[in-house]
Every structure is written in C-alpha cells, then in structure tokens.
C-alpha cells in the first residue's frame, strides 16, 4: 500500500511538474505544429525565443557604422567569413571547418534555407561525441529527413515540408546543438538556420533518426494539408451563412458583430466592382476586438489576403485565393467579449462584398490568449538606389506576442529587362527582439527571407511562402511576396521591430513599397501603425510607355520592337498594356501548324551574338519553335518554348545559344509547336553582342 501511495504521489508530482513547465516537446509535437493554426493564438508554452544564424556579411554591425548595408553574404571569398568562427584553418586544398552555431540548452531546429551550399556539414545534438549527421551540406538543408533516412523519405514531402529553397523538418534537442560546415570559403555557402531556444527547464525529447519512421503518418498528413489546405480545412465554409454588403464611395459599414468569448476561425471575402483591382486596394478591412477604439486589423482587403494588386490565385496554409476571386483566411482570431468586422470604401466606385465569417466558442485565458493583428503600410515615390540603401520599417511593436507572417507588394517601374539589373531585393531582413540593440535575425537577401533565391521571376506558392505575382520581364512591374511564420513563429516578451533593406541593382524612381506584418499580441501592446489614408491607397499603374534599357545583364544590346521586324504585319493583333514595351505587344494566333510568322532581323556587324526574346506568357498560350535562316535555334536550352501561364499574362525572357552572325539581314521564322495551337505573344527582341 505504501509503495502504491508513493507511486501515486510521484505520478502527481511529475504531472504537476509538466503542467508548470509546459508540454513535453517532441518530434511528433513539432510536426503537429506544422499545420496547427489555433495554437498560434496562445503565447507559447513552454516559452522560447527565436534566433537565426546565417551567412550574412559580418561587417553589418551597427546602423551608425559604415558596414550596416554590406552585401557579401555567401558568394565566396567574403572579406570576413560568414560564420561564427574558424574551427580548423584551411588546408593546402583550401578546405577548412567553420562554426555555424553552438547553442546550449533545450531547443529545436525549425527552418533551414540555402540558395546553394557546397561542402559538408556536421551536426551534433546534446554534446554527443559523434555527430548525428555528417555528410553533404545541401541535402541536409533542403531535404533534412531524407538526408538522414532515404528509405523513410517520401517524395510528397517535397513542396510541402520542403518549400522551394527552405525546409521545415523539425529537429528538437534537450541539451544543445552544434553545426560545423566543412568546405572551401571561395565556394558558395549561402545559409539560414533558425532555432527555437526554449526556456530553462523546458522538457524536450531529443530527435532521433527513428523518429522519422515512427511519424510517417503524421508527416504525410501534414504534407497533404500543406499542399491542399482548401481541400482539407475549409469544408466548414460550404454551408456557412453569408452576408452581402454594398458600399458607396466613402461609406463604412459593420459586416458582422459578435458578442461573447469566441474566435473567428474562417474569414472569407469576395469583392466585386467595375474595377476589381482598384477595389481590392481601396476597400479597407478593419477588425476590432474587445472594444478597441481602433482595429487591431487594418489593411486593404486584397493586400490582407496576399492577393495584391488584383486577384492572383494561390494556396497557402493561412490564406487561399481562388481563381474566381474568393479569398479565405485561416488565422484564428480569439476575443474575450466582442468582435466587429468592418469594411470601408476609400475609392470612387461602388463595391459589393460577400463575406462568410465562421466563429466557434473559445475560453479566453488572461495573459495567454492574444489578439490577432495585421498592420499594413505603404511608401510611394521612393528612390530605390544601391548608393542610398534604406531600412524599410515593416512594423515596430511594444508588448508581448509573436510574429506570424509578412508580405510585401511592390511596384518596380525599372526599364532594365533582366534580373541582373532590375532586381529590387538585395536587401536583408533585420529583426530586433526585446529591446536588443543587435538584430536576432540578419538575412542574406529579400528573396532569401521569402524562401526563394537568385532573384527568381517564377510564380510559386507553398504552405508558408509564395510569389503569386511578378509581371516581368524578370522583376519589373508589380510583385507580391509572402512568408507565413507557423512552425518558425517569432515570440517577443517586450518588443519586436522588423526592417527590410531596400537595396536595388540600379537606381529606380517612383518605386512603391507596401507591406504587412501579421502578429498576435497580448492586450495592452501597441505599435507604430498609422491610419490608412486615401493617398496611401491611390490606384497604382505601371508607366504607360517604357523602352528597355541596355544595362545590367542586358548590357551591350540593341532592342527591336517586334512590330518593326514583321514582314506581314496584317497577320497579327496589337495588345495594349503598360506591361509591354512601347505599351503594346504582338499577338499571333496561328490557325494551323503549317503557318509561320517571319521577322527580319538586322545584324549591325559580323560577330558572336545572343538573340533574346521578351515574350508574353498568356492564359491558353501556345508553344513555338524558332528558326534562324532556316536552321532551328535553342532558346533556354530547348527548341520548343511554352508560352502558357495559369492565370494572368506575364512578360518573360528567353535566350538563344551563342550564335555566329554575319553583318546584314537575317530571317527569324516562328512556327507553332506542341499538340495544341494557342496564341503566341512577342514583345521585343534584344540582339546582344558577346
């Protein structure tokens, strides 16, 4: 009896200890967090702080010192190696060992990113003698669990737990984590490592390779949800009641009021107007919780859903934007007493809004439960200039909470048609937490923060990140990027300050930079949000007429409008839009595979050239083959070019192989390719001497 009593007392003590210390953190619990939207609304238990180790330029020390905007952060041969320290000096072959991180205490790896990392990696957990991983660095950064256990690996994890250049395979540890990179500093080594560092006493079970096999079902379920969240999470919307609101210019209305303790679990909106793109920017969503005199959420409705400007379909875990314009938010928004969802029309046209707002009961917990915040701001008429790099503030918060996402919506009216020359995002994120004067996060480029690399123009969407709009060519025009911090959310006890450098390749005037921070905060927090004005939400359009500039990777080029090279201009249509140079592009609609389009292209001298086309990828676009003087030419390594896209028209570049041309006139023959005929859009050609 005494033994049983002792066992019972021991069990109660253990239980009480776990309650006071928070839940035990395991590989399984962290996998569950990959898709747990509701948990974000409570302050984390056990508590943790987020830190990032990266290959940032070590000359970035302080805002009042010259190196604050230094940019040697992973290309190799940096003035200061992008690591904490040198573990072993380079040998005769240039191979050394370099410390990425060495942390003590309980924690977890929650995000890894690399643009490209050569060499090998060694990872130790809990000060064990032997590393848990010792092998090529890049597989560990991009496909972590597969790098450990290829037999357990599932291809469906690519594109879900791995997202573009980042991976979110959690690796918890109880006593510490040490990473050492082994390689040649002259080779590429771009990297980010984000860790949770739990409070002292937190109960964490260290990762083992066996965890992968033991959690296959969890991993597959998380992967499925991350790939198709609308399919798996939104059946609640199908039979939900809807409200319709009509807004005249200048009108503001309450869409829905809720009284009592509850939480908004789904917010779905459909906007219709004569000019929907304009309405999405000029209709303001405001949500007030618990009697706040000003909304904790205030944002243009399109920007709030990451669909700006206009409708740009994508799927992610917190948000989905469908082709038909329906927009869904899954961030959970709890409140203690009341909530009001409002819409305001700051435009000059009537707007109709159809909303579905689904709530569920929620027990508010003082000091733990948090209000959801979405804070939007914009700067117009900026000068983006590599000689005048700027820290752009996203949001500064004072109080207690956690950051769960960021998005930016840009207008980049550059005249350079190539990424190397028109790229806007060399700048790094700098995140200050809890009044620290040194950033807890310093990045290696804006696209790296948003989980991609190499100033990619491609449209993409994943569970936590996406680029649903990029007009082109390259990175010209309207661009939208987002990243949601779910597993890698960033808590703060006192303050949170987020900046992103605006660091472009070349000077660009009339640059517009809008952005949103998504966060949760315990009541009483305040931030530097400024009320949105009509001037902020002015209707932006690309310059009505532009001509490509021979600079950057487009240097040493001569540009020709397609319409000036046509031998039979009556066979084509002219499509007008500011996205195209001289405000128009040529659209050819072949009716049979035997038709051809002929262009007469002059070479100003004899020599080596590259022929670049800026083409239109359109909805339902066809495929084409290009002949030069009756000989097939490869563009981007292929003889066939697909000109289709899934939604809106975009401008993209294709480049030929190197060609030997003689001075004089040459004939380019374009013909349909592939199984289906479709329109072929051509904007301009640049003849580039090499």
The model's pLDDT over 608-618, given as tens digits with 9 standing for 90+, comes to 999 999 999 99
Average pLDDT for the chain: 94
pLDDT digits (tens, 9 = 90+) for 649-679: 999 999 999 999 999 999 999 999 988 899 9
Mean pLDDT value across residues 178-190? 97
| pLDDT for residue 151 | 67
pLDDT digits (tens, 9 = 90+) for 381-440: 999 999 999 999 999 999 999 999 999 999 999 999 999 999 999 999 999 999 899 999
| pLDDT for residue 327 | 98
Confidence of residue 21 (pLDDT cuts 50, 70, 90): very low
pLDDT digits (tens, 9 = 90+) for 129-155: 999 999 999 999 999 999 997 766 567
Mean pLDDT value across residues 242-269? 97
Tokens of 505: 């390749």
| pLDDT for residue 7 | 42
| pLDDT for residue 349 | 98
| pLDDT for residue 639 | 95
| pLDDT for residue 154 | 60
Q: Is the pLDDT of residue 12 over 70?
A: no
Element at 29 (helix H, strand E): helix 27-33
Domains of the chain: 25-227 (2.60.120.1390), 233-369 (2.60.120.1390), 379-538 (2.60.120.1390), 556-689 (2.60.120.260)
| pLDDT for residue 152 | 60
Q: Is the pLDDT of residue 493 over 70?
A: yes
pLDDT digits (tens, 9 = 90+) for 430-471: 999 998 999 999 999 999 999 999 999 999 999 999 999 999
| Percent of the chain scoring above 90 in pLDDT | 93
Residues 670 and 640 sit within 8 Å (Cβ to Cβ): no
Mean pLDDT value across residues 251-272? 97
53, 55, 70, 100 from 84: Cα distances, Å:
9, 9, 17, 6
The DSSP result for 7-20, as a single string, is HHHHHHHHHHHHHH
| pLDDT for residue 603 | 94
pLDDT digits (tens, 9 = 90+) for 53-102: 999 999 999 999 999 999 999 999 999 999 999 999 999 999 999 999 99
Q: Is the pLDDT of residue 8 over 80?
A: no
- Rounded to whole angstroms, the Cα distance separating 404 from 36 reads 12
The DSSP result for 549-560, as a single string, is ---GGG-SEEEE
| pLDDT for residue 11 | 40
Provide CB contacts within 8 A for 31, sequence distance 6+.
170, 215, 218, 219, 222
SS in 3 state form for 59-118? CCCCCCCHHHHCCCCCCCCCCCCCCCEEEECCCCCCEEEEEEEEEECCEEEEEEECCCEC
| pLDDT for residue 361 | 96
pLDDT digits (tens, 9 = 90+) for 306-319: 988 999 999 999 99
Q: Is the pLDDT of residue 17 over 90?
A: no
| pLDDT for residue 149 | 77
Q: Is the pLDDT of residue 6 over 50?
A: no
Q: Is the pLDDT of residue 173 over 70?
A: yes
Bridge partners for 613 per DSSP? 654, 685
The DSSP result for 441-483, as a single string, is EE-S-HHHHTT--TT----EE-SSEEEEEE-SSTT-EEEEEEE
- Rounded to whole angstroms, the Cα distance separating 466 from 59 reads 30
| pLDDT for residue 567 | 83
Phi-psi region of 675 (alpha: psi -120 to 50; beta: other; left: phi over 0): alpha
**Nearest CA among 207, 203, 127, 215 for reference residue 171:** 207
Mean pLDDT value across residues 220-228? 96
Q: Is the pLDDT of residue 332 over 90?
A: yes
């Amino acid at each position: 009896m005494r033994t049983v009593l002792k066992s019972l007392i021991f069990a109660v003590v253990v239980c009480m200890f776990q309650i006071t210390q928070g839940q035990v953190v395991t590989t399984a619990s962290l996998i569950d967090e990959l898709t747990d939207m509701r948990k974000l609304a409570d302050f984390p238990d056990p508590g943790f702080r987020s830190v990032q180790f990266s290959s940032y330029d070590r000359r970035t020390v302080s805002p009042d010192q010259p190196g604050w905007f230094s940019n040697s952060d992973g290309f190799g041969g940096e003035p200061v190696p992008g690591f904490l320290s040198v573990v072993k000096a380079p040998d005769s072959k240039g191979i050394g060992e370099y410390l990425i991180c060495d942390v003590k205490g309980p924690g977890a790896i929650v995000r890894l990113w690399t643009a490209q990392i050569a060499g090998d990696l060694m990872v130790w957990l809990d000060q064990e003698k032997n590393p848990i991983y010792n092998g090529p660095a890049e597989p560990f950064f991009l496909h972590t669990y597969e790098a450990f256990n290829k037999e357990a690996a599932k291809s469906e994890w690519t594109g879900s737990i791995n997202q573009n250049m980042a991976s979110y395979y959690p690796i918890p540890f109880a006593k510490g984590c040490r990473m050492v990179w082994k390689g040649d500093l002259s080779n590429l080594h771009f990297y980010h490592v984000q860790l949770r560092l739990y409070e002292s006493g937190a109960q964490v079970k260290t990762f083992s390779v066996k965890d992968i096999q033991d959690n296959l079902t969890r991993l597959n379920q998380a992967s499925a949800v991350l790939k198709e969240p609308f399919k798996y999470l939104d059946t609640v919307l199908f039979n939900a009641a809807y409200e319709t609101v009509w807004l005249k210019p200048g009108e503001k209305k309450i869409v829905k009021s809720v009284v009592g303790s509850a939480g908004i679990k789904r917010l779905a909106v459909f906007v219709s107007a004569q000019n929907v793109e304009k309405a999405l920017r000029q209709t303001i969503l405001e949500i007030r919780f618990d009697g706040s005199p000003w909304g904790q959420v205030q944002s243009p409705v399109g920007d709030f859903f990451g669909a700006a400007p206009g409708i740009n379909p994508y799927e992610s875990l917190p948000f989905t934007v469908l082709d038909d314009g329906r927009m869904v938010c899954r961030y959970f928004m709890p409140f203690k007493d009341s909530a009001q969802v409002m819409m305001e029309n700051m435009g000059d046209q009537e707007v109709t809004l159809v909303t579905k707002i689904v709530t569920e009961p929620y027990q508010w917990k003082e000091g733990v439960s948090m209000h959801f915040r979405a804070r939007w701001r914009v700067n117009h008429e900026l000068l983006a200039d590599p000689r005048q790099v700027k820290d752009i503030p996203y949001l500064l918060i004072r109080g207690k909470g956690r950051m769960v996402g960021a998005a930016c919506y840009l207008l980049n009216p550059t005249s350079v048609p190539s990424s190397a020359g028109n790229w806007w995002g060399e700048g790094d994120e700098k995140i200050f937490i809890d009044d620290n004067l040194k950033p807890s996060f310093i990045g290696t480029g804006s696209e790296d923060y948003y989980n991609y690399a190499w100033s990619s123009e491609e449209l993409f969407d994943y569970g936590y990140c996406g680029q649903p709009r990029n007009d082109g060519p390259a990175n010209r025009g309207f661009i939208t990027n987002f990243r949601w911090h779910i597993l890698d959310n960033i808590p703060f006890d006192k303050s949170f300050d987020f900046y992103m450098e605006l660091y472009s390749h070349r000077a660009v005037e009339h640059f517009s930079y809008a952005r949103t921070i998504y966060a949760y905060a315990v009541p009483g927090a305040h931030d530097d949000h400024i009320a949105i004005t009509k001037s902020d939400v002015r209707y932006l359009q690309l310059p009505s007429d532009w001509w490509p500039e021979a600079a950057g990777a487009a240097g040493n080029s001569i540009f020709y409008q397609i319409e000036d090279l046509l031998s039979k201009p009556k066979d084509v249509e002219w499509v007008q839009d500011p996205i195209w140079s001289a405000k128009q592009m040529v659209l050819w609609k072949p009716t049979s595979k035997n038709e051809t389009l002929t262009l007469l292209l002059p070479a100003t001298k004899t020599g080596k050239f590259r022929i670049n086309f800026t083409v239109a990828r359109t909805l339902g676009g066809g495929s084409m083959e290009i002949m030069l003087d009756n000989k097939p030419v490869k563009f981007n390594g292929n003889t066939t070019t697909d000109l289709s896209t899934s939604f809106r028209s975009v401008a993209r570049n294709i480049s030929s192989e190197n060609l030997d041309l003689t001075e004089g006139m040459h004939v380019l023959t374009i013909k349909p390719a592939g199984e289906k005929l479709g329109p072929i859009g051509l904007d301009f050609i640049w003849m580039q001497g090499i």
